[in-house]
Every structure is written in structure tokens, then in C-alpha cells.
Chains A and B, each alone.
Chain A
């Protein structure tokens, strides 16, 4: 029993981070039909901003994190949109897919060449104390990651539903032409989406890297998982990405624990194929339109 609870709780903790990355993924898709194959690298990179600022420049950790989030919003949000997405978006999705694959490669190789090919330890924001919950070991970082990730996603959901800017962003995602006629500055709204994605990636990065250790290749697995979580949950719903992320986290751990360690990676893939065949819009997705 303790083993089961352990696996379940660890799965939820990992899943909450997958959800953060997956939410950013769906946001970009809704706002601009961008399938971002570099999303995993977007989560890998901010941790290295933090490392560069603390280790190389000697800044204190909290300041470094704030600066890293700011840098991510700027580079992974604004610059990414301006230099990569905007010039390509009128050519359809394929060139952009290729460009984001190349961008992922660029970020990965860049970190490897200019920082280090070796994994780096990363400071934790929280004390490492471990609590016992029904016989399962749960650490403070586990709980904090879950709470912060959920809080961020709920906060984002509230922002989109309750504020004027948020509703304008939703309108832009649903129908840019109508939104424009109604006087929404759609360019600005799309930009906001990219900025939010940059911030989400930075938050996920800071939360996950103490456990994952900072390594240039971290994005490979994360990007794929976020992608699958988004499709499984529903590509056009924030809550879909949330559920998809948690589900993949739990299923991955359960299948490693009880099905087959050798085939653990296959289980989320089979789930993906199953969902596409049975419910192509995703578990919580809506089949028409692109509602946020």
C-alpha cells in the first residue's frame, strides 16, 4: 500500500510540472497555431540562466530567479515570437515546426557548448525535509512543486476568465477576425500569450531542475511528455493540459512500478494513440472551435 501511495504521489508531483509545460504548449497553439517542438528546451534553459547568474555572477538565488524569469519572458517569449514565429506564421505550420525543431537543437547545443556538457547541481528553493504520508515519503519540494504549479495554472485560468485582458486573449484565440472587428488588439494579445509561455517555462524550470539536475538534454524527455500531455488532455483547453500532465505523470510512474520498467515509455504512447482514435479532441477538449 505504502508503495502504491508513494508511486501515486510522486506521479502527481512530476505530473504537475508536465502540466505547466503542457499548458504553455496549448496556449501557443491556440493563439498562433504554433506547435512548439522546442518547448522542452524552453523548460531546460531558464535553469541555466539561474546558474549563470548565481555561479558565474555571484547573485543571490532569489534575485537570480526573478531575473531568469524576466529573461525567459523576454527571450523565450518576445524574441521567439518576433524573430521566429512572426516571419513564418503566414507560411503555414510546417516551416514553423521545422524551425522550432531547429531552435530546440540550437538551444540544446548552445547550452552544451557555452555552459557545460555535464549535468550541474541546482539549488533547491525549499528545505529538503521529508514527511511520511501513509508510509510514503513525501518531501517538502514535492508538495511545494505541486502547490505552485497548480496555483500558477489556476491563477492563469482566473486571469483569462476574469480580467478584461484575459477575455480579449480568449477572444483572439477563438476567432481572431471577429476579435479584431470588435476592437481587440490581437497582435498584443498574441504577444501576451508568448510572454506567459516564457514565464511558465521559467517557473517549471526552477521547480523541476533541483530534482532533474541541470543538463542540456533535459528538454528531450520533457518536451515530448508535455506534447503528449497536451494532446491527451485536449489541445484546446487549459484544463485539458492540466489533466493530461497529471495523468501522464501518474501513468508513467504506475507503469514503471507495476507494468514493465522496460516498456514504461510505451504506456503514455499507447494512451496517446488510444485517445487519438477514440476521442481525437482529447479527454477534455471540445471538438469544435478553439475555446480557452
Chain B
């Protein structure tokens, strides 16, 4: 399928429409919440959580496929766990999510992982990076153990498990999209309700505390939504690449603005477009999973923003450096001329251009530019300083 074909079929074809809508919404919510992750310096939390969700998915799978409650028999805790599952399931049903046990499992184990990360950072001297790496790899390893265990079971229906590893947007169905849209909606409402609190916590956590806000609650609220977004995205983008989905749109948006609201909106737009373009490209080629393509598209957004954003971009920064350097050269030449002119009673006494040759800042270009600014007058092989140039040179260090 060609790209143009994809776009012409976008509105008529049910599957394409669902997938595109799904990835667009996913990109938007990830961009939105990713902004918080990036600004809170929790960029890699997403990576850790998406990996930590794996054992939850596997346990969810066990519960769904075999109708067994491995925990119920074990302890009271197991029964409490199952009650929680039932309640979350009920809430999800309310949003039209269907009975998605895998998602609930992923959510619970993601949240558990987050708490463990916090516990390790707060209670021991291990640093953030170690805590993230530990939770990421240990949970994932346990998940792999469970998965391979499941795969060896007779009659295991493994379809649906594999897609969580690498993501397959093609498996998105309408109920998934509805679920994503509802979560995005709830998230937006919460974001608007707690806008002031989120913002102040982001930039000055201590001040927030002194103002009497419950920082713990706000903190947990943000983190919970980040976990939720990750869990929703697993099916589409996969465990490994989910973190990029969260980070990249936000990192790109950050380059264009210093305002939180603008950044969130931009990140959501970047995310949504990455989703659509990524789906379009992967649908128009054979053998391309959606996840990697979406990630590369977000990568293009990031690279473009890094280079071309007017305020912080590398290109404009370089141009500014170059311009400053030229201005400095010009000023140095002017200063040198000023020192010579100062020694004469008549400031516009002509001097040979030759004497400038030993001076570093001097080039033909700078002389020409000085002449254009009417700071010096050039006649043949001689230059003389004008009244304007003299004033400018005298005030050189006062104005800047």
C-alpha cells in the first residue's frame, strides 16, 4: 500500500481508522503526561514502569486463561488483591474497556514497581539510576520467567501476549480506542482541576509544601496517570519503546517554549502526529511493526526541534555565537582606531590603513562594515574617524 493510498482509505477503512485514531490519542496522552515526567527529571521512570508491567501482564493472562486465582488460595492478601482487581475491572467496564485483565495486571505491577523505586530511593543510599535499573530488570526478568512458563503449558493461547513485548497497533480494536479516549478525557479533567497544584509542585516542591498543599497526594496522582498512560501504550508500542513515546514529544516541545501550558499542548500535538505518521508509514510497508516506526518519527521531531527551535536550537545558538564574535571583532577594531585617533587633536585626522594590519581583529570586512555604519571614512589608502564613530567608541562599554 502506498502512502497516498493509506490516506485516501483512512476515512473509509474501519481498521485503518481505528488504528490511526488509537495511535493518535495514545501519542497525545503520552505527550501530555510525558511533559511532567521530563520536567520532574523522571524521564526514565517510563522505561522502568513499562518493563515492570510485564509480570502483571503474565499474571493477568494466567488469571484470564485458566480462570485460576493463584493468590486466592494462598492468603488473605490474595483475596484483597482479587477484590481490587474486581473493582478496577468494574471501573474499566464503566469506560467501555471490556474485561481486560492483562491491562489491570500491568497497572498493578506498574504501580508496585513505582512504589518499590520510591522505597529504594528514600530508604537506602542507592541512587535513582540504580533503583530504576533494578526494578526494570528484576520485574522484567520475573515476567519472562512467567511468560516462558505459560508458553510451555498445554493449550496456552499465547496470542495477545507477544504483542505487549513489541507492540502491534494492528491489534487495536474499537473498545481499546474508546478506553484510551476515556482515560485521556479523565486525565484532562484532572489536569485542569489540579492545574495550579501540578504546576507549582513541578517547579518548587518545597514551596508547595509550605503553602499547605498535600504534595504526596499530587505527586501520587501525577505518577499514577503516567503509569496509566504507559500501560495503555504497551499494546501499541511495546514494552521496550514505550519510554521514548513518553519522552520524545515532551523533549521536542520543551525546545519551543518556556511555558508549561504551551509545552503540554505542543507535546500532545507532536505525540499525536508521530502516532499518525508512524502508523501511516508502517501500514504502507511490509513487515514493519508500528512501535519502532512511531519512535523514529518522534526522533525526527526531536532532532528537528533540537536544531531549528529559534530560542534554544543548536542552529540559532550557533548563529548567535557567530554574530557575537563578529560584533566583538568590529568593536575591537573600533577601539583600536579610537586609541589612535585619541592621540590627535583632530579626531578625523587620516591614518594609513597599513597600521591596522598588525591588529588581530582587523579585516577588510570589518573596515567595510565600520564604513557602512559611518563610524569611519575611508579615502584611498587612508582612514579617518568620524564624529559619530568617536562617540560610539567612547561609549562602547557603557551601552552594553
> Do A and B interact?
no
On B, residues with C-beta under 8 Å from A are none
Residues of chain A whose beta carbon lies under 8 Å from any beta carbon of chain B: none
